[in-house]
Structure 1
């Protein structure tokens, strides 16, 4: 055990002192923080927002004067024919030309928006909303319907979901938490498992392993390497979370950025022109925040975090043992690459199926995939937020631990032979021989 501990220390210290580790540990949170802050900063910064002047040729005489400009979108009514309007538009500095042909409110068709380049989605969406608003208002006026009377007919229906035990649940929150847990485990296990493979190949190529094998058993070397990289991975993972949160919070405060969805800001812009939208926005925003808070409060957060840590650690240990065996089978990374896909395939399959299992977390496929050690790290993280019977959780964990021990035993037999073999082209048939006679 003391020798394994020394190998863990060596593997950990060698890796955390590398420039690549330090650079990636610092650079990744900066990139994540930039992805979180920069889009919101650009969306909120007036420096990136250009005034868009839109010429309107209204041949129907129904819409032109009723279109409402915003802070960034200005309407300019023109009075000419379609051909001259297009020619004048090409010479002008206007952003777009809206052509409204002769029509009736009963059949409002044929709107055309001409842009010198591709028209932005926001502008197109705003124009559609404005034209629909005008048509609706005119039709209501013709039918002598007041907006107040129409509002009285509307009803907001929300379905409250709960389990058979009476616990409330939120499908949207469960979906988000499940998918986040699955993708984190999927990416982490592959990322750090491949690091183990590369470490084995590097030491084998440099002949360092020959010196180390003289002092420790191959299985001790393999376990020490696996656990050392696991410690590096957990350290890097924790630093990423802390640094991303700290950097994004600090930058947001420094730039005065409120990281909201730009579509919310667009809705606010629309609400200035339509008080009814403002009422709906305030109500829906309040309901949405309340539902998110309520949904999170109904989740068993300690259980989810505990399961994430368990399945992350043992999922990594299972796959890193296989990657260590793969690394020992080749003289270089190119040779080992032929075995990488078969080893990774069960995890990839689990992640692909997880996207369907999210919608049916208690079905037969979900149950069996969460029991198989090769797929359970991803699939069980999808199920646990929806609520899993305790016996299923215990069985899945037990099978994963058993799977790790069994795979480690098999991987050690392959590792013992492969780590000292050079210059021989290895195939699956050869590896099976090592497993049997190793």
Structure 2
């Protein structure tokens, strides 16, 4: 244990003193806060009335003389051909051949390129107008037609511990994927650092001197734990600074385009009286951040320890860093597969059998369980997943150490998968 502590301290101190570590540690929270601020700004821009476009409609078919119902973003003015059109943003031409049964030939003319959203919105408005014309032609009065239109909205809520909490699947999915994405990135980022460190020491023959006084297992574990502590230091600083920055920018950005009641609702995490987009922000504030942060830290640490042990074993088995590529793909497959499973299975049914199964497998649990957490996971499933992660890390580390002890002093030979298995089975 003493040797592991010495190697850990050496790895930790040598890395936290680097300028790149200091720069990224301080820069990261500002980037995260800027990203968060952009989300709030986009949510507000969706809910606030954007500049309404005035469309001049030339209806030669005579079908829409009573007007076309627009929206908050597009207003239609049905006028005959000619006249001053400078006050309009474009002209919608409806030819005489345009009919209810053959609605073809409509054309939009403007000085700017029509984007996809605007085109789909205008097409939707015309479709609604044509549908109304067809219903009226079938004998329905306009008053009857209007009475048939009904807007229905269902709000989701979760009953937990006798309390009712608002639920939003989009917010849950977003929060889960953000956590899973960071775990995915951190595992690769710090795992590759372990691999590069081992490969560099082996190629420079420094490891031969170190092994004379430290056991291979102690060296491997010290390097893994040291870089893990570097990662945790960075993550804790990021969480602390990001929390402070987000707490500062949230009311500032929100107050730019909201009245005081809406701003208070956003900061307090309530969505009553706030527009739908800001309601999502309210749902975001109602997430169980303590569980998410603790879950993130656990799965980040255990996932990193599991994969970094394999990265260290790979680096010890080859002579140079370039030779590690042949063994990298099998290790990255579970992580990539986890992302695919999270997108195709977990989001559709976060409590289904497949989602539960992959959240128990140590190789996929860090990603899959992180995506499931915001949706609510039963306690026994979470505990069982954590137990499997701990045992999985111990088993993989033991197997990796058996490869490491043989490969770290072997030069001039590229091992095969068969030889790696033999190294794991060596006695002693």
User: TM-score, normalised on structure 2?
Assistant: 0.74
Distance apart, 1:185 and its partner CA = 2.2
* Corresponding position of 1:269: none
The answer (yes or no) to whether the contact 1:185–1:312 under 8 Å persists in 2 is: yes
* Corresponding position of 2:8: 8
The answer (yes or no) to whether the contact 1:57–1:78 under 8 Å persists in 2 is: yes
Q: Relative to structure 1, is the Cα distance of residues 200 and 242 closer, same or farther in structure 2, using a 3 angstrom cutoff?
A: same
Structure 1 gap segments, 5+ residues each: 81-88, 261-281
Structure 2 gap segments, 5+ residues each: 259-270
SS at match of 2:108: strand
Query: 1-side partners of 2:248 and 2:322: how far apart?
Result: 43
* Corresponding position of 1:361: 350
Residue in structure 1 matching 2:154, options 158, 168, 173: 158
Residue in structure 1 matching 2:142, options 145, 156, 160: 145
Query: 1-side partners of 2:349 and 2:303: how far apart?
Result: 23
* Corresponding position of 2:264: none
Query: 1-side partners of 2:226 and 2:374: how far apart?
Result: 30
* Corresponding position of 1:344: 332
Query: 2-side partners of 1:122 and 1:152: how far apart?
Result: 27
SS at match of 2:410: coil
SS at match of 2:13: helix
Q: Relative to structure 1, is the Cα distance of residues 113 and 72 closer, same or farther in structure 2, using a 3 angstrom cutoff?
A: closer
Residue in structure 2 matching 1:400, options 389, 406, 419: 389
* Corresponding position of 1:323: 311
Query: 1-side partners of 2:234 and 2:382: how far apart?
Result: 28
* Corresponding position of 2:205: 207
1:126-137 map, 5 Å: 127-128=122-123, 131=126
* Corresponding position of 2:267: none
1:100 aligns with 2:100: no
Query: 2-side partners of 1:38 and 1:395: how far apart?
Result: 37
SS at match of 1:400: helix
Bigger fraction of residues in helix: 1
Cα RMSD between the aligned structures?
A: 4.5
* Corresponding position of 1:429: 418
User: TM-score, normalised on structure 1?
Assistant: 0.73
The answer (yes or no) to whether the contact 1:354–1:378 under 8 Å persists in 2 is: yes
Query: 2-side partners of 1:123 and 1:423: how far apart?
Result: 64
The answer (yes or no) to whether the contact 2:156–2:168 under 8 Å persists in 1 is: no
Number of residue pairs aligned between Structure 1 and Structure 2: 403
Comparing 152-161 with 227-236, greater Cα deviation is found at 152-161
The answer (yes or no) to whether the contact 1:7–1:221 under 8 Å persists in 2 is: yes
Query: 1-side partners of 2:256 and 2:226: how far apart?
Result: 40
Distance apart, 1:423 and its partner CA = 2.2
Query: 2-side partners of 1:300 and 1:256: how far apart?
Result: 22
Query: 2-side partners of 1:337 and 1:77: how far apart?
Result: 68
Distance apart, 1:229 and its partner CA = 0.9
Q: Relative to structure 1, is the Cα distance of residues 386 and 217 closer, same or farther in structure 2, using a 3 angstrom cutoff?
A: same
Comparing 65-74 with 319-328, greater Cα deviation is found at 65-74
The answer (yes or no) to whether the contact 1:329–1:415 under 8 Å persists in 2 is: yes
Q: Relative to structure 1, is the Cα distance of residues 111 and 35 closer, same or farther in structure 2, using a 3 angstrom cutoff?
A: farther
Q: Relative to structure 1, is the Cα distance of residues 218 and 257 closer, same or farther in structure 2, using a 3 angstrom cutoff?
A: farther
1:383 aligns with 2:377: no
